Amino acid sequence: MSFTTYLRDKIALCLGLLAALALCALILHAFSVPIAAIVVVCSLGLIVFVAMLTWSYLMRRRFFKSLAQTLVCNCESTYVTELLERPGFAEGQLVYDALARATKLMNDRIASYQQVSEEYQEYVETWIHEIKTPISAARLVLANNEDERSRALERELERIESFVEQALYYARSATLEKDYAIRKVSLDTVIKGVVRKQSRSFIEQAITPHFEGLELSVYTDAKWLDFIIGQIVTNAIKYHAKDPAGGRIVSFSAELKEADFETQRVVLLIQDNGIGIPAIDVERVFEKGFTGQNGRKYSKSTGIGLYLCKKLCNKMLLPLSLASEAGRGTTVAIEFPLSKMHFLSS
Amino acid sequence: MFTAYLVEDDQKIREELSVLLERHAYRVRAPEQFEDVVSGILEAAPDVVLLDLNLPTVDGLVVCRELRKASEVPLIVVTSRDNDLDELMSMNLGADDFVTKPYSPQILLARIASVLKRCDKGRVSHRYSYQGIELEPATSMVSYGGKSVELTKNEMRILRMLLEHAEKVVLREDLQHELWQSDEFVDDNTLTVNVNRLRATLASIGVSGFLHTKRGMGYLLQEVHAVPS
């Protein structure tokens, strides 16, 4: 608050005072007080007034300046009153008290919602761990009773598991910080694990996996990578083409790019020769809830899988991209920077 | 024959896992009370222990630690708690392997076999036989009428599967699935090639007329004169 703003605000007061002084001077003059005495009285009054005005301005300036500063430099503006001194003037105190009440209400609400969402998240996580027991039991029952029906059920279980896993990562994605650890991970182990897990679906659709260059290791969280690749593979299987030349293929290939130490990275490509994604949809595949033409035409999809992949990759600072041509297939690329500086600097 | 000791509080899993393990030639002991798991294990003196971490009365990690004070029995931790900390703790407390639910039964069997092998107990492995054909999976040797020959890994796996389901049709997709579980991602054509090679290898020791192709379905291992025409 500049002094002129303050003066403009107090303009009525100043005009009133000047009028009062003028009236005073007139009355004194009427009582034939000497002009010099009138000037002295009026000047004294003016001086005192200006002094009072300046003092009150300084007090207000101090308060509003610190208020503005706290609001600017502190992003937790709901705690603004905790960081401010209660001012010594009436309007300031009113503002301060109102602010204090409003922010307290706000903070209480935030805390209660936070608690609700944390409890819900905890419940979802526990539920997911609980559901794994019956899924395991079901798998064992099927393994002990192999026939035509058990194979069909086994495939459905593979799908259920994939959805359960998606829910787990969705619940966790709200507070991703807490459970990932970047380690050296063998691409071969993770990728073959994913293919094994979804082998029934691969075989049912007669899709052949191809592997190339997977002896490379990358720095990432193994479980997250397992989930990400699992989601991408699920899509590749789901959106297979009817009769592509050379048979249905999902190929996994890794390559070391750029020998320069700083930018050295491993690029993992997951390629399929499925139905591909129409050009207008490609841009939006990582959006939450986006299903596009394929999602509508072929089978119902949630639009969550790739969104989560992107979110997890972003968290681990791994660039994830997707290219596709309708009718030709889809390629998903994940880049794994090798230099440790990449993680330190970001 | 190996004895597996199952510490698992979920009744269905306990039952089905017992059936699975028994079908794969393990003797199974599985307690239904968990008050004193450790002494139960020590009494039973099994060859391998499968331990669930989430037990009703006692924490699995405590069992792990107590057990290690008294015994070096191979121990596989099986749990649905898939966090790194549990895995680390289990390994630090002396578990030999860590498997998270939901596991595929084949993977679990493979893990058990590999732990047994690592602990030097796997040498006397289970043999499969049918009408004089003997398969020793540990060495990949198949013998018949005094002659024997070594099989490749894939041939061995296919033959083992056929012997396990002797006189029943084994579907191509089941054979494929079985091979995929050992990271042999064969496609349909390669499977045919592998089976034909197996047939030739078997013929070299005089096993012929046993392995029949069921067009469009799979394969059948049966002595020829027993096949209904």
User: What does the pLDDT look like over B53-88, one tens digit per residue?
Assistant: 888 888 888 888 889 988 889 999 988 877 777 888
Q: How far is B14 from chain A (nearest CA, A)?
A: 8
Give the pLDDT confidence score for residue A255 in this predicted structure. 92
3-state secondary structure of B195: helix
Give the integer Cα–Cα distance in Å for A284 and A275.
17
The two tokens of residue B116 are 């047994």
Which residues, 6 or more positions from A198, have their beta carbon under 8 angstroms from its beta carbon? A158, A162, A230, A233, A234, A237
Q: What is the pLDDT of residue A176?
A: 55
Check A200 against B177: CB less than 8 A apart. yes
Contacts of B17 in chain A (CB under 8 A): 140
DSSP letter, residue B47:
S
pLDDT band at B7 (very low <50, low <70, confident <90, very high): very high
Query: What residue ranges in chain B does DSSP mark as E strands?
Result: 2-7, 26-29, 48-52, 75-79, 97-100, 128-130, 133-136, 141-144, 147-150, 169-171, 211-214, 218-221
pLDDT given at position A343: 57
Whether B139 contacts chain A with CB within 8 A:
no
Q: Is A287 on the interface with B (CB under 8 A)?
A: no
Angle among Cα A291, A240, A335 to the nearest 5 degrees reads: 70
The pLDDT, as a whole number, for residue A188 is: 94
* B residues 71-110 closer than 8 Å to A (CB): 80-84, 100-107
Residue B196 in contact with partner chain A when CB distance is under 8 A? no
Return the C-alpha torsion angle B183, B184, B187, B192, nearest 10: -150
Pairs of residues, one from chain A and one from chain B, whose beta carbons lie less than 8 Å apart? 83
Q: Which two tokens stand for residue B161?
A: 């599967």
pLDDT of A97: 92
* Residue A95 to residue A87: CA distance in whole angstroms: 9
pLDDT of B120 above 80: no
Kindly give the confidence (pLDDT) of every residue in chain A, 346 residues in length, as a single tens digit, with 9 standing for 90 and above.
788 888 888 899 999 999 999 999 999 999 988 889 999 989 999 999 999 999 989 988 888 888 888 887 766 777 888 888 888 888 889 989 998 999 899 999 999 998 998 888 888 888 988 898 899 999 999 988 877 788 888 888 888 888 888 888 888 777 656 567 788 899 999 999 999 988 888 998 899 999 999 999 998 888 889 999 999 999 999 899 888 888 899 999 999 887 677 778 899 999 999 999 998 899 899 999 888 888 777 766 778 899 999 999 988 889 999 999 988 999 999 999 887 655 555 4
pLDDT of residue B125: 59
Contact B13 A206 (CB under 8 A): no
Quote the pLDDT of residue B202.
92
Nearest to B102 among A132, A144, A247 (CB): A132
Asked if the ipTM is above 0.90, the reply is: no
**CA distances to A3, A7, A18, A317, B43 from A43, in Å:** 22, 19, 11, 71, 108
- Closest Cβ–Cβ partner in A144, A192, A199 for B16: A144
For position B227, what pLDDT does the model report? Answer: 47
Taken as a whole, chain A contains a residue count of 346
CA of A321 vs chain B CAs: smallest distance (Å): 27
Give the pLDDT band of residue B124 (cuts 50, 70, 90). low
Tell me which chain B residues have a C-beta less than 8 angstroms from the C-beta of A151: 171, 173-174
Name residues 97-136 of chain A within 8 A of B (Cβ). 129-130, 132-136
Q: How far apart are CA B218 and CA B178, in angstroms?
A: 13
Q: Backbone phi, then psi, for A33, in 5-degree steps? A: -75, 140
The residue-averaged pLDDT of B108-114 equals 87
Predicted local confidence at residue A101, as pLDDT: 92
My answer on whether omega of the bond before B102 falls inside 30° of 0, hence cis, is yes
pLDDT at A346: 46
Closest CA to B24 of B128, B133, B123, B118: B128
Q: How far is residue A67's CA from residue A61's CA, in Å, rounded to a whole number?
A: 10
Contacts of B48 (CB under 8 A, 6+ apart): B2, B3, B4, B5, B73, B74, B75, B76, B112, B115, B116, B121
Q: Is the CB of B173 inside 8 Å of chain A's CB atoms?
A: yes
A46 is written with which tokens? 């003016």
Chain centroid to Cα B98, Å, comes to: 16
Q: Quick check: A224 contacting B, CB < 8 Å?
A: no
The nearest alpha carbon in chain A to B85 belongs to A179
Backbone angles phi, psi at B48, to 5 degrees: -150, 145
Among A126, A127, A140, the residue to mutate for chain B (most B Cβ within 10 A): A140
